[in-house]
Structure 1
Amino acid sequence: MHHNGIDGTSAGTSSQPGDGGPAPDANPWQDTIAAADQALEEASRIQRGVQHNLKLLQEVRSLREELRKAHAEVDRYRGMHARVVVSMRQLDEDHVGEMSRLQAANEMLQVRHRVYKLMAEHYARAALNLDPETFAAHRDRVLQHVLFQRRRGVSSDDIGYADVAFLML
């Protein structure tokens, strides 16, 4: 029977007392010490493995927590982005509506400017006396005429003095 000693060398044991081997009482202690050393080495190795696994498990938990925080931050930014997009669309719609309103107001001001210009030309040529009621009546007729011509596709700049003179007689 062979056993490993403390230093890793094999020690032969014999169950018979006179064949030149060590005494039978000495071997059991050496075998027990060698087995205990091996068990301690194996336990140390297992303990190092367990510690390494615990360290890895702790790192995994830490990474999971970081990932959860990153997902929460992504969700928060996604929500902010959605609100900004909705606000931008609303602003764009408001801008388009305001631009349309301003464009219509601008066109109306241009038409009125043209009406006043045509009336001023008429009064300058006819040298008529301006009274407020006559002026208001002429202005309304000329305005209606210019708006009618615009609906037909005629630009207000293409309407001349001669086109509206008959309205102010």
Structure 2
Amino acid sequence: MKGDEELQTVWPQGEGASAGQGVWQNTIAAADVALEEASRIQRGVQHNLRLQQEVRALREELRKAHAELDRYRGMHARVVVGMRQLEEDNAGEVSRLRAESEMLMVRHRVYKLLAEHYALTALRFDPAVFAEHRDRVLQHILFQRRKGAPLSGICAADIGFLLL
């Protein structure tokens, strides 16, 4: 937009038809410039409003994405807790099964040693005596295991003195 000094220099100083026409031309030119400036400002405002709407839409998408992320984090945390609980339960069950398996192997060894001893000595089978012998051999094998002897290293000759 032209300054006041420029408009005064452009307008004719005389009073006549030519002076009036110059004033109108300058007024029309100034109005045209003002309309172009207003149009440019309006386009800028419209563009700014469009950008604000896009920002709002993007913020809403971001909020939804954060909510979904939080939901998945919660699901993941629950799954991790469940898996850890299963691992603990599984570890406890495995250790219990190992202990049972070990005890069954010990009992199997006791019965095998007793069978060998009875076969070698040709003793008559009496259930009460057998139960007593079984308990002695079981105690002996458990004692040997605590000392570190392998289960397969205990033979029928090792338990002969217990059964006399």
Counterpart of 1:33 (choices 23, 28, 33) is 28
In structure 2, what residue type is equivalent to 1:50? Answer: V
TM-score (norm 1): 0.84
Which residue number corresponds to residue 137 of structure 1? 132
Alpha-carbon distance between aligned partners in 1 of 2:50 and 2:36, rounded to the nearest angstrom: 21
Q: Does 1:73 align with 2:68?
A: yes
Q: Does 1:110 align with 2:112?
A: no
In structure 1, what residue type is equivalent to 2:30? Answer: A
Aligned-residue identity in percent = 67
Listed as ranges, the matches of 1:20-169 within 5 Å are 22-169=17-164
Alpha-carbon distance between aligned partners in 1 of 2:6 and 2:19, rounded to the nearest angstrom: 13
CA gap of 1:2–1:100, structure 2 versus 1, over 3 A, is: closer
CA distances 1:58-100 after superposition (whole Å, capped 9, x unpaired): 1111111111112112222222222222222212211211111
In structure 1, what residue type is equivalent to 2:154? Answer: I
Which one has a larger percent helix, Structure 1 or Structure 2? 2
What SS does the corresponding residue of 1:154 show, helix, strand or coil? coil
CA distances 1:6-48 after superposition (whole Å, capped 9, x unpaired): xxxxx7523244xxxx533333433332222222111110000
Which residue number corresponds to residue 8 of structure 1? none
CA RMSD of the aligned region, Å? 2.1
Is the 1:15–1:24 Cα contact (8 Å) retained in structure 2?
A: yes
- Tell me the CA shift for residue 135 of structure 1: 1.4
The structure, 1 or 2, with the larger RCO (C-alpha pairs under 8 Å, 6+ apart) is: 2
- Tell me the CA shift for residue 103 of structure 1: 1.0
CA distances 1:96-116 after superposition (whole Å, capped 9, x unpaired): 111111111111111011000
TM-score (norm 2): 0.86
Unaligned regions of 5+ residues in structure 1, if any? Answer: 4-10
In the alignment of these two chains, the number of paired residues is: 159
- Tell me the CA shift for residue 131 of structure 1: 2.2
CA gap of 1:36–1:147, structure 2 versus 1, over 3 A, is: same
